[in-house]
Structure formats: C-alpha cells, structure tokens
Amino acid sequence: MVTQWYDPETASAVVPGIIARSLHDRGHEIDVLTGIPNFPSGNVHSNYHIRPYQRETLQGITVHRAPLYPSHDPRALKRVANYLSFATSASAVGLRALRDVDALLVYSTPATVALPAMVMRAVRGIPYVLFVPDLWPQTVTATDLVRPATSAHLERVLHHFCDAVYSRASSIVVTSPGMVDLIVARGVDPEKISVVTNWVDEGAFFPSPPDADFAKNLDSDREFTVMYAGNFGAAQGLEVVMEAAALLRDRRDVGFVMVGSGVAERGLRDMVTKLRLDNVRFVGPQPMSEMAGVLSHGDIQLVSLRDAPLFRTTMPSKVQATMAAGRPIIGVVSGDAADVIVESGTGVAVPPGDSGALADAIRAACALTTSELNARGANGRDYYLKNMSQHVNSERLSLLLETASNMRAPG
C-alpha cells in the first residue's frame, strides 16, 4: 500500500490504516510505504525523525517510511513541497523496499502519491489499484490553496498527470457513484471503475454510552449539544457552523462543541471572538479509542463541506463514522453525501453554506425526543452495516487486488 499518511496520524489520515488492517485481517500480506508522521499539524510526531529510511511494524503490518518536508500549511508553496518531497523520496524507497510485492494499492490523496506506483510499475512491472477518495485537480481548485491567477495553469498540469495515472492503473476505486461519472468524462473506461465505500475502524466507532472523562473536560451546562468532530480544513467550510451558532446565541439550551484541529482552526476561533459567541467550545483531537464515547456527547452530529461541484460527489468519512456510531446527523452537504444521510433515515441535509437553514435544522432537532433522535441514529447504524461496512467493502477491494496481482509482469 502506498499512502502519504498513515498511523499514528489522526483525523482523515486514519483511513489508510483502517484499509490496510482490514486487508491484513483477510489474510493478505501487507507492506505500507508512507511518510514521516506530521498530519494534521505539520509537525513531526514525537518518537519520529526525518531520516532517509525508517522501518517499523504496526499491528502486524510492515511500515516503510520515506522522508518528506513536514507541513500542512495553508500556503501553496509549503504544501507543494510536502507533497512532492514524499512522492520523490517514496519512489526511491519503494523501488528497494517493495520490489517483491504482487500488487500496489495507492491511496491517492494527494494525487502525487501515485508517482511512486507509476515508477514501480515502469521499473518492476508491479500493477496498481488506484483508490481515489478525492478527485484531483478539483480538490485543489475548490479550496483556497492556490490563487486564482495560478489555478488554471495548475489545473491543466494536474489534469495531464491524473490522466496518466488513470490510464496506467489496473483498476480504479472511487467512494461515491457521482465520482464514476466525472472520471468516465475524462475518457476512462467505466468497466475499469468500481465503487468501494470507505469503511471505518469498527472497533472505534460503535454505539456507546458517553465517555465520563470527556464530560468532565467538556464542563458544559447546555442541555442540547451540537457536535462537529473531525478535521478543521478549508474544504469543510465550518464558518457556517459559527454563523449558525450566532443565530442561536439566544438559545441558552443549545451549545456547540468542535472536536479536532486543522488549518482552519485559527480562523474559526477568530470568528468566535469577533461574534462574541459564548455557546461554542473547542476541544482538541481525541484518541481514536475514545471516539465512540465522545460522539455520544453530541445530541446531533454535523457533517459539513463547502459548496463546490466537486463536493457533490464526495463522501466524507465522517458520514460513515457517525453512522457506525449510531448518532443522528445534520449534513451541511449536497449530492451523494446528502442522499445517503436522507435515504438512510439518519438525519437531514441542508444546503452548504446556508447558516439559516442549519440553524432551523438544529431548532427542529431540539424539538425531537431522545427516542426519536436515537431512532435516527439506529437507522444510520443499520444502513452502514448493510452497505458501508468493513465486511462488505474490504471483500470488494480484496477481489480487485487479487485480479491486479495476476497482471504482474514476470521478473
């Protein structure tokens, strides 16, 4: 498996580890090629150092670490340095460390992670399955990472690169139906594309009573808690949550709890100060092992994405995590994510960026009984188990990798 982010990194970086362990549990021998842990803060994690090569074993999986420029800075230059430094060093490390593997699974976010796989395919004849959680270059141009003046040129360059990556992959995996149409529009054979929904660490996300220690740290006297737990990134558009909190400032029974961190945190805290909000609390990232109990403190969970065409086909892993934990959802999303939230009966969806609609949805949720809220959460849990679970989707991914391994060139 080739992925820039891996354990012990947190937030959205936990997904590659979940996939790797699931495949390992199915009997596959898994090696992971990844970087030095630095996500989401951009600071190298304790007990790790920037070295030419590091090797360790995590939960029975051999992890090969390539050096990189550590950064998750919102400025484009540093982010590009982070992406390209890993892609370059991982290409060199991969040629040595993964020379005997049968197939590669590329967790392609950022898209540059595919470069080592392309190099190993060209030099070693190793086929790769491309797992696409986020579409590029749309992910870059839909955020504020690059200035409009350079966006068009960068988009052209990334389009050419992604076309090359798609054409060389033995198969392509996407996480929502809408992504299929966008990739087919680029000229990719639809028979080459499969939908495999991200699943979550089911040992961490399950129906659970509230965590008592978290309650002490939270120290909230609000009767109804609206919680967002996850990455505070540009793509999430969490400003709408602060605006909704301002609209609900007179509801002394309603409090907002923001669990996590990310590049947008400073701006969100500035909004709290500017709007003089006393109903918003920030809590840092919590251990994965405690997330089920943390989520139970939220009477309603928020899922949010900015309003951009790309995000209508994006299925944030927060949807699956919240549904697996059996918690009701208000989605500030459109497209595929909104469809799942509504069709599963786990909650409601409002237009991205619409703080008034979000405030109205929260007022409506406050009017529900505990039994009604729990029923919505149970609906989501049931939908997750039948359609998004590890059992269902790891089997699909396993079959694609076995097919790819049969395509390995000799030698």
Beta strand residue intervals within 165-279, DSSP E: 171-174, 193-195, 224-231, 254-261
**Which pair of structure tokens corresponds to residue 222?**
């609000």
Dist CA 314 CA 176 (whole Å): 7
Exposure letters 233-256 (e unless 16+ CB within 10 A, then b): bbbbbbbbbbbbbbebeebeebbb
pLDDT of residue 218: 81
Mean pLDDT, range 184-197, rounded to an integer: 95
Q: Where are the alpha helices (DSSP H) in 221-288?
A: 239-247, 265-275
Q: How many CB atoms lie within 10 A of CB 340?
A: 27
Angle between the 239-247 and 355-366 helix axes, to the nearest 10 degrees? 60
Dist CA 244 CA 256 (whole Å): 10
pLDDT at 142 over 70: no
Q: In terms of C-beta density within 10 A (0-12 exposed, 13-18 middle, 19 or more buried), how is residue 177 classed?
A: middle
**Which pair of structure tokens corresponds to residue 256?**
């907002």
Indicate the pLDDT class of residue 175, thresholds 50, 70 and 90: very high
Q: In terms of C-beta density within 10 A (0-12 exposed, 13-18 middle, 19 or more buried), how is residue 84 classed?
A: middle
Least reliable range by pLDDT among 138-152, 167-181, 336-350, 367-381: 138-152
Are the C-beta atoms of residues 174 and 183 closer than 8 Å to each other?
Answer: yes
**Which pair of structure tokens corresponds to residue 94?**
């991969």
Say which residue, 379 or 219, is predicted with more confidence. 379
Please state the φ and ψ torsions of residue 224, each to the nearest 5 degrees. Answer: -125, 120
Q: Note the pLDDT tens digit of each residue in 229-277.
A: 999 998 899 999 999 999 999 999 999 999 999 999 999 999 999 999 9
pLDDT of residue 51: 96
Highest mean pLDDT among 143-152, 216-225, 398-407: 398-407
pLDDT of residue 411: 59
Dist CA 45 CA 54 (whole Å): 14
Beta bridge partners of 256: 226, 280
pLDDT of residue 144: 62
Please give the class, per CATH, of domain 11-199+389-405: alpha beta
3-state helix, strand, coil in the chain (%, to 5): 45, 15, 40
Out of 1.10.10.60, 3.20.20.100, 3.40.50.2000, 3.40.50.10710, the CATH code matching 212-387 is 3.40.50.2000
pLDDT at 408 over 90: no
pLDDT at 50 over 80: yes
Mean pLDDT, range 361-386, rounded to an integer: 98
CA-to-CA separations, 395 to 63, 197, 201, in angstroms, rounded: 23, 11, 15
In this structure, which amino acid lies at residue 389? S
Q: In terms of C-beta density within 10 A (0-12 exposed, 13-18 middle, 19 or more buried), how is residue 187 classed?
A: exposed
Residues of the chain with CATH 3.40.50.2000: 11-199+389-405, 212-387
Please state the φ and ψ torsions of residue 321, each to the nearest 5 degrees. Answer: -60, -45
pLDDT > 70: what percent of the chain? 97
DSSP secondary structure code for residue 62 in this structure: E
Cα 215–281–73 angle (5° rounding)?
120
Helix, strand, or coil here: 168?
A: helix
Beta strand residue intervals within 60-197, DSSP E: 61-66, 104-107, 128-132, 171-174, 193-195
